[in-house]
A and B are shown apart, each in its own frame.
Chain A
Amino acid sequence: MNAAPRAAAAWIFLSPALAVIGIFFVLPVLAAFALSFTDFDIYALGNWDYFRFVGFQNYVRIFETPLFWTALRNTFYFVLAGGPLSVAVSLGTALMLHSKLARFRTFYRTVFFLPVVSSLIAVAIIWRYLYHPAHGLLNYALSFAGIGPVDWLGDTAVAMPAIIVMAVWKNFGYNMLIFLAGLQNIPDDLYEAAHLDGASGWQQFRSITLPMLKPTTVFVVMITVIGYFQLFAEPYVMTQGGPLNSTTSIVYLMYEQGFRWWSMGFAAAIAFVLFAIILAFTLVQMLLQRSVKR
């Protein structure tokens, strides 16, 4: 077969997917990028005479907004504390499920994966009950240990940790499955050889499991970090960004600016700043990974 008709056939097969991606992804992204250089807001919505192109003014304004720095700090808190915790919990449960000693594996795998497929809104409402300062199960349990009632979602110091715990619980099952797949790909003879050499379980884990899981771990960490930077639904349902903005994330700030105050241009600029942050973070991770390889 000739190359040209083959390419044409490929394009024909690709065109539905490309059209969908173009219309529903590329175009809106370009439109949002254009919007970030305008001051489209409530006044412009009412009267187009009040619409202006403002150049980089929105981007300058972001860095002059104290709430942005609060949101940035909160988001980094969530990513840096929640990300590693989430990966560790996923790896831990994957190891347990992979262990030869484990029974009812399919059952536990299903149970651990259930939170991932549950609706976040329903889950968040249940967790709000668990966290309730007066009637919550968590405080009830703590009361036996003599620990006084904690206002989990109302106290600035514990609101973010409470959100992190919930988010980790909600998300660890997905990464757990990826780790499980990674574990199953490690050839058994490696462990057998190590066993014959008298390596302890910990030595086997450090010298075989972790290195062999490296590609999986890199993927999981990257996906988790990208996902966690976009923290929104948890604070939106549980705390509305409070108390005192202690759970306001960048995406939550963007949502508030865009849909609550209708500063669409400004909100679009926040979106692209977040995009730049995530891109930078991912690039740094890739560079780190490459330097470790050498």
Chain B
Amino acid sequence: MNRLRAITPVLLLLAGISCGPQQERVTVLKFWGFGNEGEMVQPLIREFERMHPDIRVEVQQIPWTAAHEKLLTAYAGGSTPDVCQLGNTWIPEFTVLNALEPLDRFAGASATLQLDDIFPGVLRTNIIDSALYGVPWYVDTRVVYYRKDILQQAGYEEFPATWSGVLKASEAIQRIAAAKKKVAYPFFLPTNEWVPAIALGMQSGGNFLKNSGANGNFSGPEFTRAFTLLSEFYAKRYSPSGMQLITNLYNSFSDGVIVMYITGPWNIGEFTRRIPPHQQKLWMTAPLPSMDSLTPGISLPLGTSLVMFRESRHKEAAWKLIEYLSSVETSVRFYGMTGNLPPRRSAWRDSALASNVYAAAFYRQLQRVDPLPQIPEWEQIVIRLQTYVEYVATGTLAVPEALRRFDGEVDVILEKRRWMVENAR
């Protein structure tokens, strides 16, 4: 005891010598992760810290429902993190705010990041006015999930490549179900989703906005064609026109009430878990059908990127974190942990992904994705679109009238933008 007391000052001194200068060099990074990813990223972060003893990362988990507000208020209050995950549809908004650091100089000098290895359609969502603002972390697009056996009964060995083929298949499926006195909605297009409408719009030529994004162009010929096709599914009862009829997607799929459905990669895991084991061989994924038989049809370039905030005082360290999280090895591990699809094409050659039969459709689809309009108001616009999908599905409004009214609403949302375009600001 006495001896210990005697050497204590010495120990303290030694500790001071060994830790003091090092502690000063430790950089603390703030990383914000949303929802499940904010939780799952933790082991990766710990490994990053082991690789870089001079960097410590504080992870803050934020629920998805609060993420957008939190980021905006953080920006307004000048307390943005160093690095953050950001849905790529949000990048235009934060670029307007001038909140994000352009990453071109980092990406250009990086030894591991190869931009041309990333699915080009998804990469483009990160580029605004030819500057790179985000590095894709994981990618997401929408494909068709379908019942192989029921399509086979209807005479389709392969999933139809065109929408007219899908309509014919739906008719055949409904006829077979009617003969058995069963209810069938061959193609489930939920009335509270904008994704199918926008995908069809992209396939018929896009042009959602006109006058440099200052006015809605949804009543233009392209989107009218898309919306008319969508409305056909409701008019012919190929899809239920309300949400009440399908209370559990997986049960309905397993009962054959729903045969085809457009959804995203997370449902690979859900379908594997929730469809009964004896039916596991009966479902499959396929890229979206197309309007013009160019297979596959265009889908949406969704996904989440890693961004660096302009206010960050540790940009070099922040870049190291982005580089590490977006590397091929990390994204393959992240896929194993979460099922989130890697953005680098070389990562798909990894055995876990290459052997996943359901992921193949996503790989093909990701080569055929086009960027959406890069304006901050886009999310607000598509959320309003859902209401008009419902109007048309229930027959409350005819397609031209619905789109005319929707354009009116879009023009109200875009009023500020119009003023900026007109005054060339």
Contacts and interface: CB of A to CB of B under 8 A. Distances in A.
Interface of A: 39, 41-43, 45-47, 49-50, 52, 61, 64-67, 133-134, 149, 151, 154-157, 240, 242-245, 259-262
Contacts of B93: 42
Contacts of A154: 243-244, 247
Contact of B416 (A41, A67, A242): A41
A242 B244 contact: no
A199 B367 CA distance: 84
A240 B65 contact: yes
Q: Determine which residue in B247, B377, B380, B415 has the highest number of CB atoms from chain A within 10 A of its CB, and name it.
A: B247
B69 interface: yes
Pairs A-B, 4 closest by C-beta atoms? A46-B97, A259-B69, A261-B380, A46-B98
Contacts of B247: 133-134, 149, 151, 154
A61 B192 contact: no
B376 interface: yes
B386 interface: yes
B416 A259 contact: no
A179 B75 CA distance: 48
Given A66-B409, A134-B248, A242-B192, 7 more contacts: A41-B416, A42-B72, A43-B96, A46-B97, A50-B425, A243-B243, A244-B191
Sorting the interface of chain B by its residue count into under 10, 10 to 19, 20 to 34 or 35 or more gives 20 to 34
Contacts of A260: 68-69
B387 interface: yes
13 contacts: A42-B93, A42-B96, A42-B376, A43-B96, A43-B420, A46-B96, A52-B419, A61-B415, A67-B384, A134-B248, A243-B243, A244-B390, A259-B69
Given A50-B420, A66-B409, A45 B76 contact: yes
Nearest to A65: B412
A67 B96 CA distance: 26
A270 to B, nearest CB: 14
Contacts of B425: 49-50
Interface string B64-96: 010011001101100000000000000001001
Interface string B297-341: 000000000000000000000000000000000000000000000
B387 A244 contact: yes
Nearest to A39: B416
Contacts of A52: 419
Contact of A244 (B65, B72, B192, B248): B192
Given A244-B387, A244-B390, A43 B98 contact: no
Contacts of A41: 416
A220 to B, nearest CB: 34
Contacts of B384: 67
B358 to A, nearest CB: 25
B309 to A, nearest CB: 13
B49 to A, nearest CB: 33
A245 B386 CA distance: 10
Given A42-B97, A50-B420, A155-B243, A259 B390 contact: no
Nearest to A158: B244
Interface string B51-71: 000000000000001001100
A45 B76 CA distance: 7
Most chain B Cβ neighbours within 10 Å, of A133, A157, A242, A260: A260
Given A43-B96, A45-B97, A154-B247, A50 B416 contact: yes
A7 to B, nearest CB: 42
Contacts of A65: 409, 412
A259 B75 contact: no
A47 B415 CA distance: 17
B35 to A, nearest CB: 15
B236 to A, nearest CB: 22
Contacts of A49: 425
A49 B380 CA distance: 23
Contacts of A67: 384
A41 B377 CA distance: 11
B77 to A, nearest CB: 11
Given A42-B93, A260-B69, A47 B98 contact: yes
A259 B75 CA distance: 12
B192 A243 contact: yes
Contacts of B68: 260
A151 B244 contact: yes
Q: Which of A45, A47, A133, A240 has the most CB of B within 10 A?
A: A45
A46 B419 CA distance: 16
Contacts of B387: 66, 244-245
A10 to B, nearest CB: 39
Nearest to B76: A45
